[in-house]
A and B are shown apart, each in its own frame.
Chain A
Amino acid sequence: MKSQKVEKPCRRRNNSRRKPTISTPTVDRISDLPDSILCHILSFIPTKQVVATSLLSPRWKSIWLSVLTLDLEDKTFKDFTSFQNFTFIAIFSRNITLPILSFRFKCSNNNSLDFDFVDNFASFVMQRGIENLNISTSTKLPSSILNCKTLKVLELENLRVEDFSHQMDLPLLESLHLNEVDFEHHEYLVKLLSSCPILEDLQLKCIRIPDFLVGKENFKSLPSLKSLYVEFSTYVSWPNRWSWLLEMLECCSKLQHLTIQDSANEDNLYNNWKEPPKVPHCLSSELRTYCIKDYNYHFYYKKIELQFAKYILHNSKVLHTMTILNSSRIVDMNARLQMFIELSSSTWDSSYCKLLFVP
């Protein structure tokens, strides 16, 4: 056997034989790193600061032009005009042959923002090989955003889907998160969901759909969907929302994870829980986890969520965790105990399920 010194990996942080570690380097190592690594570091920083790195030294002057992500937020700018001018420069000065892999745009100024401005840069950005898009602003949704061959992750907030006769095609989309998005017609939502054949993760938080009619064969199949998060808004009245939810569940044949937050304050008297004629396939055979978020213990008449939870327990063969999640710190222990008693006393179909209260 050869005899060589073999040292086990170990961390020597406060080794007395070394000089004490100081927080500032004595050598400029960073400028020796290849451009691609510098761009990788800058891809995690808001674009406003990325452009400012041009000032660091001549070596850094043009690095920002090759960073493949853009992150623009209006409130970090002096005023809206500055933001608009900067956005224009940030998007259009870059080398046009380079892709934009990730684009985040957040504008809370409702008055000054003009649809054409958003539409122009959206059309440009969507053709640059984008994979990850996050837009938060209250204008009409530009048509180019829902027609993109490269997009994998899409997050939209506050936008309005209206006058939408354009094509929707998102063949690579895996994750779709909509927050406070208005749909002029329910069929726009259906069309959107049908245009993402490989969609696995869907979040619909406080979306607004004015014209949903029960039983009208509203949804098309969502064959790849594994994870669904639905939040019903406190401020928008939607009496038949649970029927809507059930119709959607009928179409998600492979759903494994479901989270529901029902913040609506209205009395559920108009919205009696009616068991569907047949148990939706995903509930009986695919669902692994179910989570009720921010169940409002004080509206004790909000029993529909409790009844739905029991329905799931009664029918889900492979459910392994049911979670009652409370995002605030205040917990009414009595109400929680009541809920625990109610749920654990109903019949459970799955042999391995556990009931979890968080926190």
Chain B
Amino acid sequence: MAEEKSQASSSKMLTLKASDGVLFEVELNIAKEMKTVQAYIDDCEDIETIPIPNVLGKHLAIVIEYIKKTNEEYDAEFEKQWNMDDLQLLLLAANYLNISGLQECLCKAIAKRIENKSPEYVRKVFNIENDHSPEEEAKLRKEYKWAFEGVDKD
């Protein structure tokens, strides 16, 4: 409509559609923090609804809220609310949407949860299957032996 075009660009609204069909109306300047979305807008100027195929509605909601509220205090408390599964999915979302601030915050958060823990603990936290052969594992333990001495008890 004609009224939309005369509004300042910062109050123009955009719709983002998550992978499970949930729709979010966001201001243009919030959406622009997602560089992937920005690129989409640059390519097709008149677009109103942008599909976000890799991100569930639940996570897109969290991402949008992060962009609106981010500051030092918010970031420090932000990561404490999510379990490891959500952290990883949020990280995938931040990476896909290309939001560097959020990606940095999430990488730090995940790092904090595995810092100073043994490989066995880290495998459990991430559910990584150890498909090293015993010979391979022994070889690595020998080659980098200094890395395995003096680790915190889990």
Which A positions have Cβ atoms within 8 angstroms of B?
4-13, 21-31, 33-34, 37, 40-46, 48-49, 51-61, 76-78, 82-83, 85-86, 89
Contact = CB atoms under 8 A, between A and B. Distances in A.
B141 A41 contact: no
A25 B140 contact: no
Interface of B: 15, 22-25, 57-58, 60-62, 64-65, 81, 83-86, 88-89, 91-92, 95, 103-104, 107-108, 110-112, 114-119, 122-132, 136-137, 140-141, 144, 146-151
A12 B147 contact: no
B115 A46 contact: yes
Contacts of B84: 23-25
B107 A56 contact: no
Given A4-B23, A29-B88, A24 B57 contact: no
Contacts of A12: 58
A7 B17 CA distance: 10
Nearest to A28: B127
Q: A-side binding surface: helix, strand, loop or mixed?
A: loop
Nearest to A85: B146
A78 B23 contact: no
B150 A30 contact: no
Nearest to A15: B58
A24 B92 CA distance: 17
Contacts of A11: 61-62, 65
A33 B65 CA distance: 23
A9 B111 CA distance: 28
Contacts of B91: 33, 37
B130 A57 contact: yes
A26 B126 CA distance: 9
Contacts of B103: 37, 40
Nearest to B30: A9
A33 B106 CA distance: 13
27 contacts: A7-B23, A9-B24, A9-B60, A9-B64, A11-B65, A12-B58, A13-B81, A24-B124, A24-B127, A25-B88, A26-B127, A30-B126, A30-B128, A33-B88, A33-B91, A34-B95, A41-B107, A44-B108, A44-B112, A44-B115, A46-B116, A48-B147, A49-B147, A52-B148, A54-B144, A58-B132, A77-B149
Contact of A51 (B15, B89, B115, B147): B147
B33 to A, nearest CB: 14
Contacts of B123: 56-57
B61 A89 contact: no
A48 B127 CA distance: 22
B131 A57 contact: yes
Nearest to B26: A9
A86 B126 contact: no
B76 to A, nearest CB: 15
Nearest to B130: A57
B143 to A, nearest CB: 8
A7 B115 contact: no
A28 B85 contact: no
A214 B118 CA distance: 56
Given A24-B124, A31-B128, A6 B25 contact: yes
